[in-house]
Structure 1
Amino acid sequence: MRIAILSTNKVISASELIVATLRTDLVPVPVSVEFAVKHTKELEQQLVSGAELLVTDIPHSFEIVYANPVKSQTIKEDGRIGGISCIAVLKGCKKLLDSASNATVLDQTSFNAAYRACGASNIRLGEDIPLPEFICLKGRLPTERLALYLQQEAAVICFKDLKISVLKLDAIFKQDPILKLDPSEVQWIDSKVLEKHQKSSYVAVDTDGTIIGDDTTTQGQSVIQKAGLDARQLKNLEKVLIPRGIVHRPLNFELNGGDLIEIDKKNYVILTAAHHVETGAIGGNVGTETKLWLASL
Structure 2
Amino acid sequence: MTLELEVRADDDLARLLAEGKVLEVGGNRFYIIKTTRVENRVAQGGRDFGGVKLIGVLDNCHTVAFIRETALVRSNTRLSAIYKAAGASFKVFDGDIPVERFACLKGQAPTFQIALVMLEEGGVMRWRNGRLGFVRLADLFNQTTSISLPDNASDNVASGFLERHNAPRFYSVGSDGKTVDGNTQKARTAVYAPNKSPRQLQNMTRYLVHRKRVKRSLEERLMAGDLVDISGAKPMVIITAAHVFEGGMDGAGNQYSKLWLGAMNS
Change in CA separation of 1:172 and 1:267 when aligned onto 2, cut-off 3 Å = same
Work out whether residues 92 and 123 of structure 1, in 8 Å CA contact, stay in contact via their aligned partners in 2: no
SS at match of 2:201: helix
- TM-fit CA distance, 1:81: 6.5
- The question of 1:210 aligning with 2:208 is answered no
Corresponding residue to 1:238 among 198, 205, 222: 205
TM-superposed CA distance for 1:217, in Å, is: 5.6
Residues 1:195 and 2:163 aligned together = yes
Work out the CA distance in 2 between the residues paired with 1:265 and 1:153. Answer: 27
- Output the CA distance in 2 between the equivalents of 1:123 and 1:147: 21
Post-superposition CA distance 1:44-83 (Å, at most 9, x none): 1211222222212x3x3222122221234x8779xx9721
Pairs aligned (count): 260
Contact 2:95 2:134 in 1 (8 A): yes
State the structure with bigger RCO (CA 8 A, min sep 6), 1 or 2: 1
**Paired residue secondary structure (2:113):** helix
Per the alignment, residue 172 of structure 1 pairs with 140
Match of 2:75 in 1: 107
* 1:111 Cα deviation from its structure 2 partner: 1.4
Give the Å deviation of 1:169.
0.8
Provide the residue aligned with 1:33 in structure 2: 3
Q: State the partner residue of 1:257.
A: 224
Distance in 1 between residues matched to 2:43 and 2:58, nearest whole Å: 35
Deviation at 1:88, TM superposition (A): 1.2
SS in 2 for 1:152: helix
Alignment RMSD, CA only? 2.2
Counterparts of 1:177-188 in structure 2 under 5 Å? 177-188=145-156
CA distance in structure 2 between the aligned counterparts of 1:47 and 1:124, rounded to whole angstroms: 28
Q: Is contact 1:129–1:167 with CA below 8 Å preserved after alignment?
A: no
Preserved CA contact (<8 Å) 1:198 1:242: no
C-alpha deviation, 1:165, in angstroms: 1.2
The letter of the residue matching 1:89 is V
For residue 92 of structure 1, report the CA deviation from its aligned partner.
2.2
Percent identity between the two aligned chains? 30
CA deviation profile, 1:10-57 (whole Å, cap 9, x unmatched): xxxxxxxxxxxxxxxxxxxxx11010111301211211222222212x
Of the three residues 102, 123, 131, the one matched with 1:155 is 123
Is 2:63 aligned against 1:91?
Answer: no
Q: Secondary structure at the match of 1:119?
A: coil
TM-score, normalised relative to structure 2: 0.90
Provide the C-alpha distance between the structure 2 equivalents of 1:135 and 1:51, rounded to a whole number of angstroms.
Answer: 30
Letter in 2 for 1:178: S
Secondary structure in 2 aligned to 1:233?
helix
Q: 1:123 to 1:49 in 2, by over 3 A?
A: farther
The one-letter amino acid paired with 1:160 is R
Distance in 2 between the 1:258 and 1:286 partners?
28
Report whether the alignment pairs 1:47 with 2:14.
no
Aligned partner letter, 1:88: G
- Code of the aligned partner of 1:183: D
Deviations 1:84-118 (A, max 9, x none): 11111111222122111221122222211111111
**Residue number in structure 2 paired with 1:294:** 261
